[in-house]
Structure 1
Amino acid sequence: MALLLALTLPWAGLGMERCFSLDTVRADGLAEGVEEPKLIALTFDDGPRRSTTTDLLDGLARRGVHATFFLIGELVPGNEDVVQRMDREGHQIGIHTYDHVKLTGLNAADFSAQVDRTRNLLKETLGHNDFILRPPYGMTDNGVIKRAGSPIILWSIDPEDWNDKNVDRIVEHVVSRASDGDIILLHDIYPTSVEAALRIVDALHEKGFLFLTIDELCEERKVTPSSGEICRHFYP
């Protein structure tokens, strides 16, 4: 099935946006002199938070963009409708543990309490069970790799948006470094990060990037990461 991806074109004018299939973009070209779209994944950690995550979903919907959200299990109860909206609107959902603890050094029972508990909660909420894992702080060891139950998705661009919450700096950091196949790390729990994310989308659209979920990016790169495999990017 063709991926529906957004592209803000120079002629769009007055904020008008259009959505194209990836095949159409490849056939027609993004702009004069650009033959092949550049693909990138936008990912968010630590949510859901109703106020900021909903604002982000609204902005992504207006742009036709799909992202990947790595959720904290303890934040899902009471926000089931937000998580269901993510799923319904084509975003991918992953696990970021139950209460944001380091997974390294945990025994099997403690690991299960963080990852399997969250996986089961998401399964109950969404009715499927295909959730990828992002360990907090990106920390892994042999135990995490062995017990992951899915690919482990890290990142290649991290503007540390949690640090100074400076929107201009966050945008510049990401846009100046973005390349085909990158995975961007942001957090959907800060209003500044939501603003930065939408500005990043607009700026990278102008540079010929298309935004995919992790699964979509894997599909386009024709790779199938195995359980426990660590992925930081999907370069051509």
Structure 2
Amino acid sequence: MPRRSLAPVFLLLGSLALTAACSTGSPPADSAPSPDGPSRTRGNDTGSQADLTKLKGVNIVSDSSTDRSCPWATSYPDVPGAGAITAAMKKDVKVRLAGFLGEDVGGPPSCGGADGSQGPELNVSFSFLVSSGDVLGVRLTTVDRTSNADGTDTRAYWYDGAAKKYRPSFGLIADGSRDAFVSALKKRLEKREGVTPETVDAALNDQENRDAYLDDMAFTADGDLEVDFDRGTVGVPPAGRISVTLPKTTVTPWLSDFGSRAQKQTTDPDDKLDLGATHTPAPTVAAQPDPGEDTTDCSKAKCIALTFDDGPATPETGTLLKYLAQYKARATFFVVGQNVATHPDIVRAEVQSGHEVANHSWNHPVLTNLTSAQIRSQLQRTSAAIKAATGKEPTLFRPPYGAIDGKVRAATSLSPVLWDVDTLDWKFHDPAKVARTVISQAKPNDVVLIHDIHPASVAAVPEVLRTLTARGYHFVTVSHLRATL
């Protein structure tokens, strides 16, 4: 397993400061500048348009591996009252992961079947489009680097709170207006470079398959409707991903009842989201007592740095904070930006409880597969979300899967942190096994990798704290460990 890097990295920050857009109607950080240009989503760097303060009780369903030879990470939201949309996303994510791992055909894991030019990788991330009134919109962005196209697929999922039903994107258009809507799309597409009548007809003439091709539609802040097409669907692959925008005045007469409400909640959102949830949202995570200044000298005492990746998660992170407080143990949380934007209160509680919060990218990609600009965006947007939640800029980052090279180091001034002990808790969801791994393998001054998105991993922490405390260990943050060695 990779070893940690204890030496700080002093490199100049690049330009291109991209931050996550969290206000209603704001474009994602990678939006195309023109209306009918490349698709708004590029690579696996997604943003958020909705006002996330309206989301109460949301749970981010995340999973990932730490296997650098077969890296995968999936994430989607579970919003109270919107079980049908959650079920649709869960089903699609499950199918994609099974296909990537080769589980859909049986036999040993194939990790995409064959290595892509940059190595295999599957990443499924999310962004909220609308969370207002009785309308919820979520976009999942999938990057599969073993794909024959560009590996990027986007899909918008809609939930109609009034009807309590999941709606695909084409559900924004009234049944009787769909032919007129498709004709307008064809007209906008006909003069686009790389688009031919044959490719458009193949995608849009078959009424039974339209849902599959028209699967990413969302409104702008002005009420226009943007339709995104994956590479190779309505154009030849070299043309890339294609986006078409239909003006509000054109598209409004064609909208279904739900489409009209989705448009209104995008342009003029209500003060709250009400999907008729039958259960009470989880309470805000409370901060635990700060143990105060840490005077431990790790050059003399036995220290261990527990680190927790991929959160924050609810209720797991809140439970973990209580366990750590019982032993006055400090830890370092390597948080994922899209989760920070959804749960800033939990990140604040981590800092207020005396812990360290560090950067783990926006949505857990293999950073070495990205361009320098994408790496900067991944890290800078996450740092901005952490600062917005806590008032403090992080100084450390952990590259997902431990994948780091000179390009990644040059893209940030954050200091990288790897690990000494990998619990493999993503593979073995067994509290006793996780605890045994830490207790048997950890040595003084080691950095231990655990994930606070897994209930079994959090359940293992009390035994780790109890046993190692009895053996004379002190639990410190990574920064404190570095500073005192």
Report whether the alignment pairs 1:111 with 2:370.
no
Which structure: greater helix fraction? 1
Shift of 1:149: 1.6
Aligned residues of 2:399 and 2:416 also touching (Cα < 8 A) = yes
Shift of 1:46: 0.4
Distance 1:202 1:165 in 2: 20
Aligned residues of 2:323 and 2:461 also touching (Cα < 8 A) = no
Is there any run of 5+ residues in structure 1 with no aligned partner, and where? 1-18, 27-35, 222-236
Distance 1:53 1:74 in 2: 16
Q: Which residue of 2 aligns with 1:99?
A: 363
Aligned residues of 1:133 and 1:148 also touching (Cα < 8 A) = no
The one-letter code of the counterpart of 1:41 is: A
TM-score norm. by structure 2 comes to 0.38
Distance 1:94 1:22 in 2: 18
The one-letter code of the counterpart of 2:443 is: S
Alignment of 1:1-236 (within 5 A): 36-221=300-485
Compared CA separation, residues 209 and 186, structure 1 to 2 (3 A): same
Shift of 1:130: 3.1
Shift of 1:154: 0.3
SS in 1 for 2:419: coil
Shift of 1:78: 3.1
Compared CA separation, residues 125 and 20, structure 1 to 2 (3 A): closer
SS in 1 for 2:324: helix
Distance 1:155 1:104 in 2: 18
State the 4+ residue runs in structure 1 displaced beyond 6 angstroms: 19-22
Which structure would you say has the larger RCO, counting Cα contacts within 8 Å and 6 or more residues apart?
A: 1
Aligned residues of 1:106 and 1:143 also touching (Cα < 8 A) = no
The one-letter code of the counterpart of 1:131 is: T
Distance 1:213 1:140 in 2: 22
| 1:130-187 CA distance string (max 9 Å, x none) | 3310010011111111113211000000110111211111111111111111000000
The one-letter code of the counterpart of 1:184 is: V
- Greater radius of gyration (CA): 2
TM-score norm. by structure 1 comes to 0.77
**Fraction of identical pairs, as percent:** 34
Distance 1:154 1:204 in 2: 21
Compared CA separation, residues 21 and 117, structure 1 to 2 (3 A): closer
Distance 1:20 1:132 in 2: 21
The one-letter code of the counterpart of 1:105 is: N
Shift of 1:194: 0.4
SS in 1 for 2:448: strand
Shift of 1:21: 7.8
Query: How many equivalent residue pairs?
Result: 193
The one-letter code of the counterpart of 1:162 is: W
Distance 1:46 1:141 in 2: 21
Task: Say which is worse superposed, 194-203 or 179-188, in terms of deviation.
Answer: 194-203
